[in-house]
Amino acid sequence: MTVVTKYVQLASKGEGDVVDITGRVQRCVDETGLGRGIVAIFVSGSTGAVTTMEYEPGLVRDLPEMLERVAPRDRAYAHQETWNDDNGHSHVKASLIGPSLVVPFVDGKLTLGTWQQIVFLELDIRPRSRRIVLQVTGQ
């Protein structure tokens, strides 16, 4: 069993930015030379998230709009009373989606569905520099 750690760096555009990182994750798996295993994808930070979706313009618009309905920016959050940073809704949204995802790979290829991509969601109120940790485990 081999474990390799890789990183994906990206600069987000701020709240609502949805970034397809599938190609970058696949390249990291390729670089390991491993044939089968899993890749754990983890975003460091409490206002970013990772998930899968069909990365197409409609859903790229729909997902942030749905999250806004669930945790609207214009409501009061206790987090903001603590830190006065106006991003309580960002933390709630990130907690709902989650910071990590595990994807198996076989014959060196991610086992994603035809219309399924791995995406990073920026949920903070400003552009951020993000470092996504990939832990590739396999043979």
CB 133 within 8 A of CB 42: yes
List the domains of the chain with CATH numbers: 13-138 (2.60.120.460)
Task: Provide the whole-model pTM.
Answer: 0.95
pLDDT tens per residue across span 35-47 = 999 999 999 999 9
Nearest CA-CA partner of 11 in 89, 128, 139, 106? 128
pLDDT tens per residue across span 49-75 = 999 999 999 999 999 999 999 999 999
Question: The tokens 């907690």 sit on which residue?
Answer: 95
Confidence band, pLDDT 50/70/90 cuts, at residue 8: very high
